[in-house]
Structure formats: C-alpha cells, structure tokens
Structure 1
Amino acid sequence: MRALLIPLTALLTACTTVPDRPPTQTYAWATFDRSGVTASGASGLADRRAGRALTIDDPVRIASVSKLVVGLGVMRLVEEGGLDLDRDVSDWLSWPLRNPHFPDAPITLRHLLSHTSSLEDGVDYAVPLGTTLRSVTSRADAFGFHRPGSYFRYANLNFPVVASVMERATGERFDRLMERLVLDPLGLDACFNWTTCSDSAMARAVVLYRPDGTVIRDDFQGRRPDCAVLAPEGVPCDLSGYAPGSNGALFSPQGGLRISARDLAMVGMLLLNRGSHRGAQFLSPASMDTLTRQAWAWDGINGDTENGFYCAYGLAVQRLLGQDLACADDLFGDARSAIGHAGEAYGVRSGLWVDPARGRGIAFFATGLGDRPPRGRTAYTAIEEWLAGHID
C-alpha cells in the first residue's frame, strides 16, 4: 500500500524542475525517443563487495515492471492464435479457476491482466517448487468479494496464473517461453530469475541491499544461482520433471525480470513505436492498442486505487492520468498523462514511462531504499519523482 495522500495544495504547486540532489545515491536512468536513448545517468555501486560502479547496462530485478513485459508475451500468443483474451482460462489450465463467491463467473486473461479477476494477495503468490498453483487458488482467501470483471484490485497473484496459462497453451516453461517470444526478438540481454541471461549479464548483476547494508538478493559474484526458483528446505531443486502450467509462479512473472535501464528503454521505444522494433513489426498496432487502452478507470467506487496510486489501468499497463486531481498519480508534476508501469520490491523502486503525445520516455530504478523511502508530493516516492524529472 502506498503512503496516504498529501494535501491537494502540494499537488497544485508541483513543478518539473529536477532537484540538484537526489533522495538516494544508487540509481540508473535513461531517457529515450522513438529512435534511441537520448540521455542517461547512474550513481552508486552495483556490487559493494567488488566496488563495482552501477551503470545503465547492469541488470536489476525490476519488480512489477515485469508485468508489462509479460503482457507483450501474452499478446504475441494472442496474435499467433494460441490464446484468447476473453476465453475462460480454466480451458487451458485443465482445472476450474473460480471465485467461490461467484462460481458461475468465468475468469479470463483480460480480467487477470487488468487486475479485475477478483484474485487478491491474501495468499502467498510466491509458490514454491513442489506446490501447485491450483492448491493456492483453490483457497477462499485467494479471492475477494467482487464479481470478476467488476472491480480493480492490484494483485500479484494474477500473473502466476497468466504464466500458467501461457505454459499450458504452449507446453513451454515460462522463462524459456518469454525468451523466445519477447526477450530474444527484441535483442534484450534480460531474463526471469537469471536462467537465460548471458554470462556477461550475470557478471553485471545489481546486488540488492537493505538500508543497513545487508544483502537481500542477487549477490552471486558472477556465478549463476544454485537454484533459480523457490525451493523449500529439503526439496531438491530439480526442474527436469516440472509440468508446464502446474506452477506459473516459479519464475516470478509478477516481478522477477532482470533487465538493465538501457534494455528497459528498448521496451519503452516499442510502446512509442506502437509495436515496431527496428523497422520490423513485433506486435501489430492493434495489439499494442489493446494493451495500452484504458481497460479500467476509477469512478469512485469500482476499485482500490491504493491512495491514488492506481487510477487507470490497461492490460498489464499502468496509465497515469496526471490531470485528474481526484488521484495522486501526477508523477511528472506537469499534469502529463503517460503509460507504462511502476515497480516496488526488495528495496527497489522502478519505472518505465512513455509519453506518446511528446514521443518521449524514461526508464529508471533506484536500489537500497528499504520498505518506506521518503514520500514525494504524489502517491510516488521522492526518488521516483526525482528520476522521472529527467524526462524532457
């Protein structure tokens, strides 16, 4: 949950001037237009033990911006005819996904991608090896009390279900599927849970720290992790018998993408160019419109905005309304509307935002922030606002 709304007068007096001093010292950012990166910056250490400086080419666990990239993979499968946004996902899962309060209401990919499925994070969405996603989503506390399609509530649990559907539709493991569908075609040296990244990307991994300097994640010293998935103590980390579709949470589709600021900017350019990548059509303009079009917008009663942070959402794509003073999502301080996604996990705050009207965008992340970094003038933190201020 985001911090409480700040006074309306602070929103009205916000400006776009970038402060001289950032609220933290470990960050990377890259601005871009439809053709490429236009400016960038980085500060701090990617690896304190090695004394390695952070650059815009170092991959970090980008948190929930991962969801947007998963959305690209879904639309690739939709265009191939392997998936349908409005079909009951139970047809692929081979088991019934139903809110027990509305057993007659099918849940679709459109519901899952737009966070209107009625799934909630009342259960742990980090489902370990040896446990099925079905066993988790069969619990009553995995669901809220709204009919699927009628109410927005942001829930990470939606995306393990999406990943399971993708796996069942193709017979491929999620991490490898995303490499084939999205990461390789876009030329990104990125991966989910480190399985498909290059050795050079592994050597540049950004270590995540708590504010007191202790390590949280990804301190591999250039080596690949012994186990790329969550495995309980005593359970061998053996994926050779894994049945695709049984546990789409394994490779963290909700937040486990490791990607650099430069490669994230490439994803942003795809949004600006409406699905075109280096002169070739990666996704059709119609598919890009489907992802970015407003699938849900707050009308005062039909969703949980988390104190003004979520005011509109597409399919795995967040929308900033900016000019709507009923919300607190004016990240850029100039009533600018934008599309993209924010991320927050393990002391990281991240963002990928594009302004289609101006043809500009920014990719950024900051690390070592802890659970409650200083808030800004909006529902975002001070560091997110500072980094976003680099866009022209």
Structure 2
Amino acid sequence: MRFLDPTPTCQISRRTFLGAGLSTLLLPSVTSAGNLLPPSLDLESFIQNEMRKANIPGLAAGYARDGVVQFAEGYGIADIAKRRAVTASTMFHIASVTKIVTATMIMRLAERGKLALDEPISHHLDFPVVNPRFPDMAITFRQLLTHTSSISDARYYEIDFRENDRDADLSLTDFLKQYLVPGGGHYSKTGCFSAARPGAAWDYCNVGFGLLGHLAGRIGGVDMREQTRRDIFTPLDMEHTSWTVKNTPQLHSAVPYDRVDGALTPVKPVGFPDWPAGMLRSSISDFMKFVAASANGGRAGDVELLGTATMAQMLDMRAPAGLPEWLSGQGLGWMASPLAGQVRPNHWGGDPGVFTAVYLAPATRSGVAIFTNAGASAENRTALKNIADRLFQAAAELTRPSR
C-alpha cells in the first residue's frame, strides 16, 4: 500500500471493460485558466504518447518555479464510462505523496517550539510505543520522519484495513492502539516492530506516518486534518483538496482503474484508518501550490509554510543502513533518487487504481507533480519518470532568456 509497488491484499474481481481502447479515448489537455507557461504542442504530444504506452486513462501534471505555479494541466479521461475529461481541478487520490504534507505539518509544529525532532515521542503520547526488543530505547520524531523508527509494516500488510467506497470506520487512534500496544487486536512483537533498534535501519513505514498524524493532533490541540486545512490548504487557496472519500465529490473525482487481464477496470476508492500516511485527495491545480512552496524554500507568494532553514532541513538527505539501492537518500518525509541522471528530492504514491509522483529541483526552485488514475506498473513508473523529466526540460526551455 502507498509506495512504489503497492501490493493489494485481495484479488480484484473481473469486470467488463467500459468503453473503447485507450487510444480512442484520450482527450486534448484541459488547461488551467491561471497557467503562466502553457506547454507546447510537443509537450502535450509527448505526455499523451507516454499515456498510450503505459495504458493510463487520465493524468494531471504541473510545474512550479520561484514559488509560483507556472501551469497545471489535465489529460485524458477521469471517468471512462461517462467520458468525463480530466481537468486541472480533477481530484486524484495521491496516496503516499500525502506523507510530505504530514511531514510538513510536523515541521511547522517544530518551528513553533511545540516539539523537538530528537526528543522521545513518548513525551506527547497517551499510550506506550516501545519496540519490545529494545524496551529502554526511545523512538523519536526524526526516526518516524526518516522511516528508521523500528516500527514495522510487516503485520500491517497481513491485514486488509481498506474500506471500499468509503472512509474507514476504525479511527486513527484505535488503529494505532490495536497495532502498537501489547494486547491490541493486531499487535505482534515480531510483526509490528523490526529486529533493528530505533534509529539503526531504514524500513518504510505507513504506520509510523499514521503515528505522526496522531502526534500532530495531540501537540497541536486539534485533529491534524483541521490543522492542515487551517495552516496549509486555506492559506494556499487549495479548494479541491480533501482528507476523506466522503468530501471528495464524484463529479470532481478521477475514477481509479486497475488492469485486469490487460483491461482497464474501475475500482472503488479506498479508505484506510492510517489517513496521515496516504489518504489525501487533491487536484493538480491545488497541489502544485504546495509543491511551489516546497521547491521555493517553504514560501509560495505571500504564504510561508515553513522557514527557509526548516525546508532545507527536510531536504537534507542522509543514507541510513538498509536504504534500498534505488534511493539516493532519505530526508524528513522527502526522499531522493535519480531522475535522468540528476538526484532530485521526490515522493511517490500508489494505491488501488492510482499512481503519483512529485519531484523537486531545489537549485532552480522548481518542482513538478504527476497524478494518474491507473494502478502501479513498470510501464506507468517509466511514463511518470519520463514525463517528470520532460516537464523540467520544457520549463527550462520556456524560461530561458532569449538572446
């Protein structure tokens, strides 16, 4: 769930494919009215060709530089059955890209002196979180943000926590207590915690980011969803962004599609109890405002999400033991890996029927995002990387001074 290779825990039932082949369904791009740098026909053709090769029905892409969204585009189909086009306002489930928003909220609290990255999280919790193999070793905020806390998703992947077509009934607090506290319904000494001591090894962890969201709520005095709405979404005028399935209008939502026997098949949107790890839904026109600030030292226009030093701290990449070879580094929430030969901070997301990516180029204060309503595949991954690289290239061409 919610990573480069999400692994469904149940089989998708076979359905009849709705509509004709993808090549006959691709629609022209739908451009945001606020675009400063409309992409060329060459870029549009490139993106649509990548979509055809990867069998992606709908895609949204954007580029930002110097704290300003330069463009946000929709391509293809949001709903095949209704032939509804993707627009810049279409809301996609962005899956694990959610984690960089959760990390940003934690860093806002750190800036305000509400927490210290290297202090034990136990100072702020209402239940114990202790690796039973290392009962005397504290788990810290920095460890949660860098996937080195020793909390493990192993048991998480053995259980299907998803709710189809609705939000999870299980609250975040109850989910965490059942998973992390001895005697909890999903607790396992060996499945919920790794054999490595806290801080010793990298182990990607959705549960850890769920815990960060719970901590943000306790420290900030209000549910983190309300904090992000108040401190991030509203200041950035992000009107098409939601934490819940319930508050994502169907008319503005991209239908997720998985591949069954080679055919695109609609799947229900999913809800998970660990919403801080991957439940955010947003449009490209909205989310690019967040990307613009992240690429620009924490500021977009008059809105300061984070101070420059704090944003740089998030993007300070380290290489903990166990970091997989396809990653170049791990920051605070953000990761780093090569894109066309250049190492760039990024984060990817995947859940049933969706695959997403965000990349930053801090040296040029620029960033890109790509959202799709097709499940993870090798072809989809290649397409997203190619499109991200082409967006950076196109933007560089458009902003290069004329001689």
State the TM bucket, normalised to the shorter chain. 0.7 to 0.9
Equivalent in the alignment of 1:358? 364
User: Hey, what's the Cα distance between the residues in 1 that align with 2:361 and 2:278?
Assistant: 23
Equivalent in the alignment of 1:340? 346
Superposed displacement of residue 357, structure 1 = 1.4
User: Hey, what's the Cα distance between the residues in 2 that align with 1:168 and 1:274?
Assistant: 27
Q: How does 1:18-57 map to 2 (within 5 A)?
A: 21-22=49-50, 23-25=54-56, 26-57=58-89
Equivalent in the alignment of 2:384? 384
CA shift digits 1:275-302 (9 cap, x unpaired): 12213433211211221112x315xxx1
- 1:64 equivalent to 2:65? Answer no
CA shift digits 1:145-172 (9 cap, x unpaired): 1111111111111111101111222332
Aligned-partner residue type, residue 257 of structure 1: L
Coordinate RMSD, CA, aligned: 2.6
Equivalent in the alignment of 1:367? 373
- Is this contact kept in 1: 2:238–2:286, CA < 8 A? yes
Moved more, 156-165 or 21-30: 21-30
- Is this contact kept in 1: 2:330–2:336, CA < 8 A? yes
TM-score, structure 2 normalization = 0.74
Q: How does 1:6-155 map to 2 (within 5 A)?
A: 21-22=49-50, 23-25=54-56, 26-124=58-156, 126=161, 129=170, 131-138=174-181, 139-140=188-189, 141-155=191-205
Give unpaired runs (5+ residues) of structure 1.
4-16, 219-227, 231-248, 321-329, 376-380
User: Hey, what's the Cα distance between the residues in 1 that align with 2:74 and 2:271?
Assistant: 30
User: Hey, what's the Cα distance between the residues in 1 that align with 2:354 and 2:97?
Assistant: 11
Aligned-partner residue type, residue 390 of structure 1: L
Give unpaired runs (5+ residues) of structure 2.
6-44, 162-167, 182-187, 394-403
- Tell me: CA distance 1:387–1:284, structure 2 relative to 1, closer, same or farther (3 Å): same
- 1:318 equivalent to 2:335? Answer yes
Moved more, 168-177 or 34-43: 34-43
Q: Secondary structure at the match of 2:196?
A: coil
- 1:204 equivalent to 2:252? Answer yes
User: Hey, what's the Cα distance between the residues in 2 that align with 1:254 and 1:143?
Assistant: 18
- Tell me: CA distance 1:274–1:314, structure 2 relative to 1, closer, same or farther (3 Å): same
Higher helix share: 2
Structure 1 moving runs of 4+ over 4 Å: 17-20, 125-128, 194-197
User: Hey, what's the Cα distance between the residues in 2 that align with 1:347 and 1:85?
Assistant: 35
- Is this contact kept in 1: 2:328–2:343, CA < 8 A? no
Number of equivalenced pairs: 326
TM-score, structure 1 normalization = 0.76
State the percentage of identical aligned residues: 26
Instruction: Select the residue among 225, 235, 243 that pairs with 1:192.
Output: 243
- 1:303 equivalent to 2:322? Answer yes
User: Hey, what's the Cα distance between the residues in 1 that align with 2:253 and 2:152?
Assistant: 31
- Is this contact kept in 2: 1:120–1:155, CA < 8 A? yes
